Amino acid sequence: MQDLPTAAELVEAVREFLDAEIFPAVDGRRRFHTRVAINVLAIVQRELEGAPAADLRERERLEELMPGVTGSLAELNTELAARIRTGSFDAARAELLEHLRATVRDKLEIANPKYLRDGG
């Protein structure tokens, strides 16, 4: 899709409207639910903007960890889990941990980047 605004820009506009106009004007339960909606929209925006690159990096790491294995990202992760269960990565523990840390970092950048800044 090449049309503007992008989905991420639309989500950002709604999030900013809720944050600037609605959140300050409501209280109690509506204020709480507005904050939840703002946070959800922030996650969706980060997902739209960052997930494709994060998925590509994860796929590349998985293909490096498991040469010759192909499939979708979900299939590669299923194969990784199976190999971990059988102990296939015991000798390559450092490479596996590096991959897992990078994957978790990428996921946290989308889900809640504050976790990384607050000591993650």
Q: What is the pLDDT of residue 1?
A: 56
User: CA end-to-end span of the chain, whole Å?
Assistant: 35
State the residue for tokens 């199976």: 82
100-114 per-position pLDDT tens digit:
999 999 999 999 999
Confidence of residue 18 (pLDDT cuts 50, 70, 90): very high
53-68 per-position pLDDT tens digit:
999 999 999 999 999 9
Structure tokens at 60: 């590349």
**CB contact at 8 A, 48 and 15:** no
Q: What is the pLDDT of residue 3?
A: 81
- What is the percentage of the chain residues whose pLDDT exceeds 70? 97
